[in-house]
Amino acid sequence: MKEAEKDMNSSMVGSLRATIRGTEKYMNEIEKEIIQNQHTFGTKEEIIKTIANTVYN
């Protein structure tokens, strides 16, 4: 019984580690995308205009 609990716990830990790694990778991709998008718009007015055009269309 103890061995089964150890095996189950170690697989849960392994699964959590993999999930955390995936989350960190996803977070890094989002950060890169945010940085790239910050350079897309020069001014606050351009952002507002783009949002307005998107909503209007």
- Given this model, what pLDDT does residue 2 score? 65
Mean predicted lDDT score pLDDT of the chain:
76
- Given this model, what pLDDT does residue 26 score? 79
Predicted structure pTM score: 0.42
Per-residue pLDDT reduced to its tens digit, 21-39: 878 877 888 778 777 776 6
Residue ranges in 1-57 assigned as alpha helix (H)? 2-38, 44-56
Question: Both tokens of residue 8?
Answer: 């189950």
- Given this model, what pLDDT does residue 32 score? 80
Neighbours of 41 (CB within 10 A): 13
- Dihedral sign computed on CA atoms, order 46, 50, 47, 52: positive
